[in-house]
Amino acid sequence: MLYEWIDERFRLPEVNVPSLGKPDPETAAGMVRTRWGLAEAPAPNMVHLLEAHGVRVFSLDPDHAEVDAFAVWRDGVPFVFLNTLKSAERGRFDAAHELGHLVMHGSEHACSGPEAERQANDFASAFLMPRASVLGHMPSGAHVDQILRGKRIWNVSAMALTYRMHDLGLLSDWQYRSTCAELSRLGYRSGEPQGMSQRETSQVLTKVFTALRSKRVRPGAVAADLGLTSEEMNRLMFGLTLTTFEGKGQQATAAATRSLSVVP
């Protein structure tokens, strides 16, 4: 309902999410990176990136804390819902994981269960940490301190980078187990100490409600129009509707900036 309300009043970015059938996750991630012009560079803000390519991204109600994230195609439009109670690094991985589902497990290529989750995890790992980039930056047999420095290159969790390095043969089975044990002892299994300072949130929703405010349309009026309370709507929007938008957040992705405009 909220998306349809916005879509009637704004031109949102066009959908540019390929449906690749069922190639292996590493290949699928590379194909999407190529299509989106990322090459081997670290992925930028994942929420902005998804929005720039037509994915409608919302936050999950905190009452559903047991759900990490989920994605769905609806009438040819991809939606992703993210849990905002996880670490910022986990949020990036969840966004890439759901992109994997949209690309590999869309309505035309349905796949569910543990195998689909494994494939989406592998897609996210490859999408966020491209093979050539990791091999070029991380040494074989890296120590924990090197992994903690290296994770900042791709803005991923220490555990995710450790898994990726093991997958690429940079850590032996013994080194992988030892590193995971040490990271767990340091608190990196349950959280991300000294992680990203700011969670990635929606720039499309920010721009929409900034434009509405300039026309003296308040978030509460939008909620009332939809038959929602302001709190109910706020829970879908990363908490953005209750804040002042000017000067907040990270730099906008150029593609989304160009694509979002008010419908005359």
Q: Do residues 233 and 223 touch, judged by C-beta distance below 8 A? A: yes
Query: Assign residue 217 a region: left if phi > 0, alpha if psi is -120 to 50, beta otherwise?
Result: beta
What per-residue confidence (pLDDT) applies to 245? 39
The confidence score (pLDDT) of residue 108 equals 57
* Dihedrals phi, psi of 52, to nearest 5 degrees: -60, -20
Torsion of CA 20, 22, 26, 28, to 10 degrees: 0
Cα–Cα dist 221/227, whole Å: 10
Mean pLDDT, 10 residues at a time, the chain of 264 residues: 92 91 88 95 96 94 80 92 92 96 75 84 97 97 97 97 98 98 95 91 91 89 91 84 42 43 50
- The tokens of 118 are what? 């494994």
What does the pLDDT read at residue 260? Answer: 54
Query: pTM value?
Result: 0.88
Which amino acid makes up residue 196? Answer: M
DSSP summary character for residue 83: -
pLDDT for the residue 246: 40
Which domains does the chain carry? 25-128 (1.10.10.2910), 130-191 (no CATH), 203-253 (no CATH)
